[in-house]
Each structure stands twice: as C-alpha cells, then as structure tokens.
Amino acid sequence: MAKETTGEKADENTVFVGNKPAMSYVLAIVTQFKNSDEVVIKARGRAISKAVDAAEITRNKFVTDAKIKDIKIGTDSVVNEEGNNFNVSSIEIYLTAGKK
C-alpha cells in the first residue's frame, strides 16, 4: 500500500480499504486485532460501501465482541492526473474489541 505523506500520523492499526475484495480487508482487520484493541478502517469514494461491509463482516463472523466506537465522515480534496481539483467523501470506522 502506498505510503501517504499527508501529515497524518500513519497509525499501525489502520486498514485502508481500496479495490480488493472485501474479505481481503476483513483478514487485515482480524489480523490487526491480534496486536491492538482498536482498529480504524478508512476509505474514500466508492470504497466507502466496502469499508462498511468489511466492518460488518468482521463484527458478525470473526471478532464478535468488536464494537463500533465511532464513525466519522468527511470530504477530502484531491488533485487528479490532469491537475484538476475535486472532492471525494471519506469514512473512518473505529472498531474496538474487549480488552484481554
């Protein structure tokens, strides 16, 4: 996954959802929960639906004690290859699982 240099700290417990099948991200989220009590799922544009799918599949089938702590939506300004500016919606889903 490309490293972002947005000034945002690159949290190790963050899963960025993109073009792969939802189950790829479910696997990433489940793996993150082995190291952390909290996992943040981030997505932009049309991947937002897949981020919600991945969170729900994780909660329903794999990490059944995981709870949704918070969900944030926002708008990111993006420059495309032609140099045009456009806006894209984003989502951040904060999942927590019971402290062991």
- Residues forming contacts to its own copies in the complex (CB under 8 A) are 45-49, 52-53, 55-56, 60, 68, 71-75, 87, 89-91, 93
What are residue 88's phi and psi, to 5 degrees? -135, 140
8 A C-beta contact, residue 43 and residue 90: yes
Q: How far is the CB of 55 from its own copies (least distance, A)?
A: 6
Closer to its own copies by CB, 27 or 88: give it: 88
- The conformation of residue 3, written as its DSSP 8-state character, comes to P
CB of 53 to its own copies, least distance (A): 5
Report in angstroms how near the CB of residue 49 gets to its own copies at its nearest.
4
**Cβ–Cβ under 8 Å, residues 61 and 55:** no
